[in-house]
Structure 1
Amino acid sequence: MMDSKRDKDQVADCDKITAGLLKSRTGEFDLESILFLKLRGLGIHDLGCIGECMTLERLDLSGNNVSTVAPLASLRQLIVLNLSSNRISNLEPLRTCESLQSLNVAGNNISSIENLHCLQSLKKLDNIRFKDNTYNYTNPVCRNASFRTIVLEMFPNIKVLDGERVVGRGSDLYQLCKDIDDTIKAGLYKNGQLVERPDCKPWVEDNYWEIRRSNNAIIDEAYKQFNDVLHECRLLNNRATHVISQTERSMSLKKQPKQYAI
């Protein structure tokens, strides 16, 4: 009975960020000493005292029930912020996070371009994610046909948008991959119907894509981002295999001699 009560108390503690929760997760006695914090998937809906972590540089709050980010306004040294898969519709408090370079808000309730104007004051912000196809995360604002163009105009310093490098080294590769992906998608359909994929031998072994995990928060986050890219490559590999198989079948049929009735 006591164990059951203790479990309920621990769950209740996760609903709201408290000093006790932060100290137990990081091992730090002083909230201002915390530099990296991962609170992913804990059911948090109230950010509580998170604003007291004045020196915080990296924060992961993905997969929670957060609807307001007001307590984050005091985190002026925050560099990387992951708020994906929450219930956020207003980003206004983030305008004071002047050190912010990377922001992930995919999978929230951001509904209009106007909700993004507050981020224009963040001159160091060069990596923004509003949608993540790997996890099927998006925002209502992404339905706007001109969304990508508008965002690139609003944030002239942006280097990476929704996981795709748009300027600088590597941007040509991202554009090439996008063009290839579009071509592959077009090849998946014939006369408007999705063509069934035949059995094909994979290009690599199943465990080729697996990576080892780490208990280090920084390395773990790097692994997560890298694993996301590998997952996208996996999907691209599957689609490419299908199109190649379809092309080979088509070429094989063309090479067969024509039969004439006598």
Structure 2
Amino acid sequence: MDSKREKDQDTDFTKITSVLLKSRTGEFDLESILFLKLRGLGICDLGCIGECTNLERLDLSGNNITKLVPLSSLRLLIVLNVSANRISNLEAISSCDSLQSLNVAGNLISSIENLHCLQSLRKLENIRLKDNTYNFSNPVCKNTSYRSSLLEMFPNIKVLDGERVVGRGSDLYQLCKDIDDTIKAGLFKNGQLPELSEPWVEDGFWEIKRSNNAIIEEAYKQFNDVLHECRLLNNRAAHIISQTERSLSLKNQSKQYAV
């Protein structure tokens, strides 16, 4: 009976606790957690998540969350995904000054007025209130002036509902354009062709630089997360193989002794 009760408690994720956070991240100090993914766990109470004050990326999609109040202390949060919940008020995240990307698709946001509180977030450049891929939306999206109103409210927005709204195209396009311009500038410098042995770009031009763009940052982080998970799976597989080999070895030894 006791073991059954303990098992039920282990699978009860309705409230975020320090035990849950530490078990999910492997961190002993909540302030050390930088990235947190708690998808589809049935969470309805954010509990102590506000103590993760250095959190930069948070995924709480697919839960039963209605209130975001504990998130108000996350001043370093860059990416927040709370899609597919039951949220109607975003006031709590108006203090998340570093927020660049926000996904609230599939919630209960009913009017444009409910979004006014986000206007203080000067770094916000990616907002998603509907996602056609998963058929997520919000009541506000039915408003005929929804898109134009949001673009007027948030002049710095670059991506709305997954569609680019400003700029001359993708980051790849801009990169290619920069390379092309550099080549042209190098070829016709002073009206003469440069010596082939000389580089046509400045030192460090091809070095990978971290971008401030929330979309690129999120893709970069997700890629690293996948690599991290692959390493964990590899370690677990190696451990299981080692245990199995050891078990087989012991069985063979016992058989030899039996003979």
Alignment TM-score, normalising by the size of structure 1: 0.65
Q: 1:167 to 1:222 in 2, by over 3 A?
A: farther
SS in 1 for 2:11: helix
Paired position in structure 1 for 2:7: 7
Paired position in structure 2 for 1:128: 127
Identity among equivalent pairs (%): 71
Paired position in structure 1 for 2:82: 83
Distance in 2, Cα, partners of 1:155 & 1:217: 25
Paired position in structure 2 for 1:32: 31
Paired position in structure 2 for 1:166: 165
- Letter of the structure 1 residue corresponding to residue 223 of structure 2: I
Distance in 1, Cα, partners of 2:4 & 2:169: 53
How many equivalent residue pairs?
Answer: 179
- Letter of the structure 1 residue corresponding to residue 39 of structure 2: R
- Letter of the structure 1 residue corresponding to residue 46 of structure 2: L
SS in 1 for 2:134: coil
Shift of 1:219: 2.0
Distance in 2, Cα, partners of 1:68 & 1:102: 19
Q: 1:72 to 1:113 in 2, by over 3 A?
A: same
Q: 1:76 to 1:157 in 2, by over 3 A?
A: same
Gaps of 5+ in 2: 171-219, 228-259
Shift of 1:124: 0.2
Distance in 1, Cα, partners of 2:224 & 2:90: 26
Shift of 1:11: 2.5
Q: CA RMSD in A?
A: 2.0
SS in 2 for 1:148: helix
Q: 1:167 to 1:106 in 2, by over 3 A?
A: same
Q: 1:79 to 1:118 in 2, by over 3 A?
A: same
- Letter of the structure 1 residue corresponding to residue 7 of structure 2: D
Q: 1:222 to 1:80 in 2, by over 3 A?
A: farther
Q: 1:43 to 1:142 in 2, by over 3 A?
A: same
Gaps of 5+ in 1: 172-215, 224-262
Q: 1:150 to 1:86 in 2, by over 3 A?
A: same
Contact 1:38/1:217 (8 A) holds in 2: no
- Letter of the structure 1 residue corresponding to residue 169 of structure 2: G
Shift of 1:170: 2.0
Q: 1:157 to 1:170 in 2, by over 3 A?
A: same
Distance in 2, Cα, partners of 1:15 & 1:217: 27
SS in 2 for 1:124: coil
Larger Rg: 2
**1:219-261 Cα shifts (integer Å, max 9, x gaps):** 27789xxxxxxxxxxxxxxxxxxxxxxxxxxxxxxxxxxxxxx
